[in-house]
Structures are given as structure tokens and as C-alpha cells.
């Protein structure tokens, strides 16, 4: 699996280094290119650390400078402020996530008014398009992904599910849970939401409280690996595997190891390394060669639902690229 990934990535690398010797008027040498990422997720998290790894690897391969900005905690107002600051520095391109369209609208308009090329990643494909940003790198509709997950659970007779949402107000996570609910509804099921913070103790405490108050719930569905990771040891310590199903959007080494052990039902892989790598490639190539993709790039979701599949990509997850 590792060699296949590197061979596939090699094609992208080949494009990235094929910059030529002479530079056309108005275009730049890669070493003079500066790109900014302004996202809503801190690079220290299980999910966003993989995005950041993709950014760093692409920057190293392409020889360009990439600055990465994100709030320390989920704060869309702070993200908008960071985007305003990035626009004022006049980079050659900016990659953004749009977790809250209202909070980001003015900052995005400022970037467009400054003529800076933009790519949306991870969150806000539709919202970005409404603001005039047509290029997106990320999963195919978080809502549709949730619907597919709900349909899979309903097929297995799992109808009452709780969504553990660690960033309520993040449009991607809200759409995931709504889709999950709508995928369950035709079979008579549905979801409820438990809002948590990124504090592992808070995630465990609030989830346990919900399960105690709702004995008829059948499964816990984390809206991301940052919420799932603390739940795995909680389930083990309290012997909850077998009593409740545990599922998650996104993957991590902990999630994969739990699937391999036969504990978790599945994780949904967004391949977020590509959400860091590809926008960097696209924006640098635009500055160097004037290239611009005509379609968005969808990176997931992929269901990691068997020990064999989980084991095949675990080594990549441990290296920070899955």
C-alpha cells in the first residue's frame, strides 16, 4: 500500500517539479512563490496534523514558501482575522477552509478583491462556490457522506445513534450529523447531538452521561478522529464494545488499530493529506506556470471497515500521511 501511494504521488511530484528554466512574463520561479493556508483547525489535532504534513511535503518538493495559519482553538472569527492578515501580506495564493460562511464572507471578498487565487479545502465547497471560489479539494459532500453512513448502519439494524460533535457550528460536522440522521430516517431511525469540546476528559464525560441517560441508544458516532480517539479507551475501560457500536468520520492510528481489533465498526477516510498537498501544488503551479484546474478534486470518503483494509493503511497513518 505504501509503495502504491508513493507511485501515485510521484505523478504529482513530477508535475510539481516540471517548471522549466525560463519564466514567462508575470510568472515566478518556485523559490519566489509564497502561499498561505488559513484554516479553522489547529495543526496539533489528529486530523489537521495530517493536512499540515501534506502542506509541508508539497512545499519541500516544490521549493516554495508556504505559511500555515490557524486559531489555537475552533474560532471562526479569529480565522477570518487571520485571513485578513494573510490578504494584506499579498501572497501568490491562499488556501482556506470555510467552516462558517457568515464569519468568513467579508474576508473572502477581500481576498478576491485583491486578485489573490483561492482554493477551498476540507470544509465549505458549496459556501465557497457561492462566494465565487470554485476550486475545492476535499470529500464529496459531507452531508452525502453522512447519508451513506446512516444507510449502512440502518442496513445493520442500528437506528438510534448519537453524534459526538466537537465543533458545533462547523458546517462540515453539522452536515455530517444531519446526513447521518437523514440516512437513518427512512428506516425509522435518527440521531441526537452531544456537543463537546476538544478536551478528551470532556468528550468522555459528556458521552458517558448521554449513554447513562439514554439506555436505548445503539451506537456512538464521532464527527471526527479528535472525538473518536478519547472514546476508544473509554469504551474499553467500561466494557462498552459489544453493548454499543462505535464509528467515526476520519481516521487515526488509534481508530485503525481499533478496527483491526474488531472493536470499532468503521472509520471514514477523508485522505486529508491530499487536502494539504494538492492546494499547495495547484497554487504554486498557478504562480509558476499559469496552470489552473478546471474541476474540484474529491479525496473521499473511503470506508475503512475491515481489519484487512485498516491494517493496510496503518503504517501510513503512523507516518502522518493517512
Task: Please give the pLDDT value at position 184.
Answer: 97
Q: CA nearest 322: which of 267, 281, 284? A: 267
Q: What's the predicted TM-score (pTM) here?
A: 0.79
Domain 20-122+272-291: CATH superfamily, name plus number: Response regulator (3.40.50.2300)
Spans of the chain, pLDDT less than 70: 1-26
3-class secondary-structure state, position 184: helix
Residue 4 is predicted with a pLDDT of 41
CA–CA distance, 175 with 183 (Å, rounded to integer): 12
Q: In CATH terms, are 20-122+272-291 and 142-269 the same topology?
A: yes
Quick: pLDDT tens for 226-260: 999 999 999 999 999 999 999 999 999 999 999 99
222/199 Cα distance (integer angstroms):
14
What pLDDT is recorded for position 25? 53
**202-214 pLDDT per residue, tens:** 999 999 999 999 9
Pick the CATH number of 142-269 from 3.40.50.2300, 3.40.50.720, 3.90.330.10, 3.40.50.300: 3.40.50.2300
Domain boundary assignment for the chain: 20-122+272-291, 142-269
**Average pLDDT over all residues of the chain:** 89
- Which residue, 202, 240, 186, 200, is CA-closest to 218? 240
Amino acid at each position: 500500500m505504501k509503495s502504491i501511494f508513493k507511485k501515485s504521488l510521484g505523478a504529482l511530484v513530477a508535475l510539481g517539479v516540471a517548471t522549466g528554466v525560463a519564466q514567462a512574463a508575470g510568472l515566478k520561479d518556485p523559490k519566489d512563490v509564497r502561499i498561505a493556508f488559513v484554516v479553522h483547525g489547529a495543526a496539533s489535532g489528529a486530523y489537521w496534523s495530517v493536512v499540515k504534513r501534506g502542506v509541508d511535503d508539497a512545499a519541500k518538493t516544490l521549493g516554495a514558501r508556504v505559511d500555515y495559519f490557524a486559531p489555537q482553538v475552533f474560532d471562526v472569527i479569529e480565522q477570518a482575522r487571520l485571513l485578513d492578515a494573510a490578504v494584506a501580506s499579498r501572497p501568490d495564493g491562499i488556501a482556506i477552509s470555510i467552516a462558517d460562511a457568515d464569519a468568513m464572507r467579508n474576508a473572502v471578498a477581500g481576498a478576491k478583491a485583491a486578485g489573490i487565487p483561492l482554493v477551498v479545502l476540507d470544509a465549505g465547497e458549496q459556501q465557497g462556490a457561492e462566494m465565487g471560489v470554485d476550486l475545492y479539494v476535499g470529500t464529496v459532500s459531507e452531508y452525502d457522506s453522512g447519508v451513506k453512513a446512516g444507510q449502512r448502519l440502518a442496513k445493520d439494524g442500528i437506528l438510534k445513534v448519537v453524534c459526538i460533535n466537537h465543533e458545533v457550528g462547523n458546517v462540515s460536522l453539522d452536515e455530517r450529523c444531519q446526513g447521518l440522521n437523514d440516512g437513518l430516517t427512512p428506516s425509522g431511525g435518527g440521531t441526537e447531538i452531544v456537543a463537546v469540546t476538544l478536551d478528551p476528559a470532556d468528550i468522555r464525560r459528556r458521552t458517558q452521561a448521554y449513554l447513562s441517560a439514554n439506555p436505548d441508544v445503539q451506537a456512538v458516532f464521532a464527527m471526527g478522529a479528535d472525538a473518536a480517539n478519547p472514546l476508544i479507551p473509554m469504551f474499553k475501560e467500561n466494557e462498552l464494545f459489544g453493548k454499543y457500536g462505535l464509528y467515526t468520520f476520519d481516521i487515526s492510528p488509534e481508530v485503525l488499530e481499533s478496527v483491526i481489533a474488531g472493536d470499532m465498526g468503521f472509520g471514514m477516510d477523508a485522505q486529508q493529506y491530499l487536502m494539504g498537498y494538492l492546494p499547495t501544488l495547484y497554487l504554486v503551479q498557478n504562480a509558476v506556470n499559469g496552470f489552473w484546474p478546471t474541476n474540484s478534486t474529491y479525496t473521499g470518503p473511503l470506508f475503512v471497515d475491515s481489519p484487512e483494509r485498516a491494517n493496510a493503511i496503518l503504517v501510513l497513518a503512523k507516518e502522518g500521511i493517512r
